[in-house]
Every structure is written in structure tokens, then in C-alpha cells.
Amino acid sequence: MRNFIFCLICLEMLFFAGCGSKEIKVPDFDEQNAMRLLIKLVSFGPRSAGTAANLRQAEFIAKTARSYGAVTTSHKFKRMTTEGLLQFVNIEVVIPGKRKNFVIVGSHFDTKKMPEGIEFEGANDGASSTAVLLELIKTIKASGIQPEYTLKFVFFDGEECFNEYGANDGLFGSKHYAGQLKEKKLISQCRAVIILDMVGDKDLNITLPIDSDKQLCKMLFEAAGKSGNRKYFDYLPTALLDDHIPFKEMGIPVIDIIDFEFGPGNSFWHSSEDNIKNISAKSLKIIGQSTLNLLFSLNFVKKT
């Protein structure tokens, strides 16, 4: 009897494994459109949280997602910051899957507030991952394929701190969204959180923070390999504070797809070198296609 039950469990696992390996053709990611979106996002100018440009950009993100046939929800909230009381907004875009359990794909869209006189486009830090998320939504909606898991694309506001990262500065949007998951008792339905950040560097080297979930990393490496892009993905030797952290603290498996080697010694990060000249459509393609492959391979063994 024990062997029989064991076999049943094996069969169930095979069934779930089989769902993912069923050869669904993963659609192509259009990097040229992603690049057009990135240029449009940069055209809003400096767009740190609480600014008029930030809100205009948020409206553009929601409008664009709707034009791709997706349903959007804006979550507005206010927080006291070192700049005073500011208005923030997260944009959530849901693509219903076969299961109500969901996977979050997130990117921050705000840009770092820089001192007067420094020209800062945030082409990589802010715009690149936001453009990739929008293009992912477009590609999945246009494919007509229903994903296995419900996909919640979330555009986070206020990732950047104003003074220094701490309990009351930085990660405003992701902390707010994670708090809502807890309030609505949705944590157990959230199977994974995939964050994209700084993914447009023309010299692409993805540096997954070492505390990213090992299974998700393995799945990402395999997903990237399917398009011949495995070599662009590696680990950072350390952990990193980014939008994945509030979810990791809740026990949800997280991965932060970030290139934290932007320019020599990461010197382009939070500098005027973070501009369109240092971005390439090819890098957007590598990230967009690898993430699409990953989303189409997601197939966690049923737990809840």
C-alpha cells in the first residue's frame, strides 16, 4: 500500500512536471518596441516619487497596459518622507491564469531624485525594466495563451530613497504592496516574486543577489539558456536591498534580475551616465525573452 501511495505521488509530480514541459511555443519578445517604450518613459524627464512627471508617467504606464488589452488598478497612498508628505502610486496589471495562485513580476518606475545640476535620465534605473514589463504584458496578451499561474505585473513607485535607505526611506511601493498582500491574506497564494531592475546596460551582466531563491535562479538559468543567453546571468557575491526584500521577508520565493555592474565598477549607477546612449535593445531582448521563457516554464508542484 505504501508503495502504491508513493507511486501515486510520483505520478502526480510527473503530471505537474509534464504540464510545464508540454511544448508551448514561447512568443517572441519585441525589443524594438521595448526600446520605443523606454525612450517614451525617459521623455517624461526626472520622475522621482511625488512629482508631476512621475504621476504623468504612471498614467502612461496604465494607459499603455490597457491599450494592450489588460486590466489595470492604481493603488494610491501617501507617505511622510524627508521631502515632506508625498503621493505615491503603484500600478497593478493582472493577467488571469488557469490557477488563482499568482506570480508577481515587478519593476520600479520612479527615478532617483538627484542634486540640482545633474542630468539624470534613469534610462537603465527605472525605464529599462518598466519598458520590459510593458512589452511582456503586450506579448502575453497578444499571444492569446493563458498562463498557468495568474500573473500580476506591478509597477512600483518610490523604490529610490530620498536620503538613506531605512525603515522609512526607500522601497515605498513594494512595502505598501507587500502590506496589502498581508492585509488581504494573499501571501499563501503568491508563489513567487520576480523583480526586474537595471536591465538595459549595453554591456549586460546580470548579477542575481546571492539571497535570491535557488530554485528560481535555476529556472531562470535554464530559461535564458533556451535562447542561448545563459552567459549573461550570474550571481552577485552579496545580498542587495531592492523591491524583492519586503516579499522575501514574508517567506515568498524571490529573485531580483538586476545588473549591478553598470559601467566600470558600477560607476554609471545614479549618475548622468545612466542615459539612453548606454542602453541597448539587444539587452532588452535578452532580458525580455529570458523572462518570457521563465514565465512559460513556471510550474511549481501544487502546495496549496
Pairing between strand 190-197 and 84-95?
A: unpaired
By CB under 5 A, the count of residues binding Zn ion is 2
Query: Looking at residue 115, what DSSP letter applies?
Result: P
Residue whose CB is less far from Zn ion, 190 or 257: 257
Q: 146 vs 238, which CB is nearer to Zn ion?
A: 238
DSSP state of 162: S
CB of 258 or CB of 284, closer to Zn ion? 258
Query: Shortest distance, CB of residue 112 to Zn ion, whole angstroms?
Result: 5
User: All 3 cell numbers of residue 167?
Assistant: 525603515
**What are the residues facing 281 on neighbouring strands?**
none
Per-residue mark of binding to Zn ion, 54-93 (x: CB under 5 A) = ----------------------------------------
Question: By CB under 5 A, which span of 120-128, 225-233, 279-287, 290-298 interacts with Zn ion?
Answer: 120-128
Torsion of CA 86, 268, 234, 91, to 10 degrees: 20
Secondary structure (3-state) at 234? strand
List Cβ neighbours of 81 (8 Å cut-off, separation of 6 or more). Answer: 49, 50, 162, 168, 169, 172
Task: Report the nearest approach of Zn ion to the CB of residue 271 (Å).
Answer: 11
Among 125, 135, 148, 256, which residue sits at the site for Zn ion (rule: CB under 5 A)?
125
Which stretch in 41-49, 80-88, 109-117, 170-178 sits in contact with Zn ion by CB under 5 A?
A: 109-117
| CA 219/CA 240 separation, integer angstroms | 20
Q: Determine the Cα–Cα distance for residues 298 and 104; give it in Å rounded to an integer.
A: 12
How many C-beta neighbours within 10 Å does residue 28 have? 13
- Stretch of 43-51, 122-130, 164-172, 292-300 lying at the interface with Zn ion (CB under 5 A): 122-130
DSSP 188-207: GGEEEEEEEES--BSS--EE
Distance, in Å, from the CA atom of 71 to the CA atom of 62, rounded to the nearest integer, reads 9
When the beta carbons of 198 and 294 are compared against Zn ion, the nearer one is 198
**Closest distance between Zn ion and the C-beta of residue 122, in Å?**
8
Tell me the window of 66-74, 125-133, 147-155, 226-234 that interacts with Zn ion (CB under 5 A): 125-133
What minimum distance in Å lies between the beta carbon of 162 and Zn ion?
A: 12
Interface region with Zn ion, contact rule CB under 5 A, candidates 26-34, 106-114, 210-218, 243-251: 106-114
Per rule CB under 5 A, is residue 197 in the interface with Zn ion?
A: no
- Give, as ranges, the residues between 157 and 196 that touch Zn ion (CB under 5 A): none
Grid coordinates standing for 163? 536620503
d(CA 203, CA 234) in angstroms, rounded, equals: 14
Closer by beta carbon to Zn ion, 131 or else 292: 131
- State the minimum distance, in angstroms, from the CB of residue 270 to Zn ion: 6
Question: Footprint of Zn ion on this chain (CB under 5 A)?
Answer: 112, 125
